Chains A and B, each alone.
Chain A
């Protein structure tokens, strides 16, 4: 959901590429209603790509399954990639400028210097 489009010369800045050095998995209570409502708001391709880039796409369908609201197995998989898998250490990279945003202790640092802002 993050973008680097505030950077000078960058028009879309999405999706940021993920380079994960350390991934943490936290078990979070499964809330099917919440996940169901979230799915239509997602760019599933981007989500799948992000999961794949950190080695967590196994078993994750490439497209949103029809009647996903009733498909608990699918919702659980979405829940896992959306909420449970976290990048503890790594980088996000802007697809246009190559600018890197470090992730440290699970917090991505998206701050820019004044010279970088459009």
Chain B
């Protein structure tokens, strides 16, 4: 039972990460994806980012990882998480690493159009805006979460985040499922980071104090014909 719930959480998070990666502006085909040396992020105990060529360069981010993390820490979270919607707070540390990696390795946030599908209280949406996204659209089915997101937007004085209350079709996804779908859609995808997501007991059925869940960050690119 618990195992199943945890699996669901994992899938949820994967979906979120993917959506962040799947933005309006896709790297043009002619551009080669710059490889970066193992980032300082990679040395943190909580995640492993596959080592890549040492000759390539990191891209800049307008905020340092630590600064981003402390900004995300200030955000209001769910007041009453809802079990049926599988609401779990993404730790600020994880969200910061994910966003910072997406920016410094691929330059996929700054000046880009970002969609956060299943935004909850907006840790990824606001984090993307803090990293200089051109505009962010945040979707969620839960009005209570969006109300908190609105408060976060106001408190952080962020102006380019649009909010839409809607149902985003939520398919269960695991690594195999993603790989199959990517093939169907002719989309290139690969795991760019593997994180350990530290979940604190949100609901009563969580007997353990906290638990690490493996989370993958996927990067997907449309294959132009």
Where the two chains meet, the residues of A that have a C-beta atom closer than 8 Å to any C-beta of B are: 1-2, 26-28, 31, 33-35, 37-38, 41, 82-83, 86, 105-112
Residues of A within 8 A of B166 (CB): 108-111
8 CB-based A-B contacts, threshold 8 Å: A31-B111, A33-B111, A34-B113, A35-B134, A41-B24, A106-B150, A107-B163, A107-B165
Q: State the CA gap A5–B137 with chains docked (Å).
A: 19
Alpha-carbon separation in the docked complex, A86 to B146 (Å)? 17
The answer to whether A108 and B159 touch (CB under 8 A), given A31-B111, A33-B111, is: no
Question: Are A110 and B165 interface neighbours, CB within 8 A?
Answer: yes
B134-154 to A contact mask, C-beta < 8 Å, 1/0:
110100010100100010000
Q: Which residue of A lies closest to B113 (CB)?
A: A38
- Which residues of the other chain, A, contact B141 by a CB distance below 8 angstroms? 111
Interface size of B as a range: 20 to 34
Given that A28-B160, A110-B164 are contacting pairs, would A34 and B150 also be in contact in the complex, using a CB cutoff of 8 Å?
no
B179 interface residue per 8 A CB criterion: no
**Complex Cα distance A105/B159, Å?**
14
Residues from chain A with a CB closer than 8 A to the CB of B135 are 34, 82-83
Q: A107-B150, A110-B167 are in contact. List 12 more A-B contacts (CB 8 A).
A: A34-B113, A35-B134, A38-B113, A83-B159, A83-B160, A108-B165, A109-B165, A109-B166, A111-B141, A111-B166, A111-B167, A112-B167
Decide: A2 near B25, CB < 8 A? Known: A31-B111, A33-B111, A38-B134: no
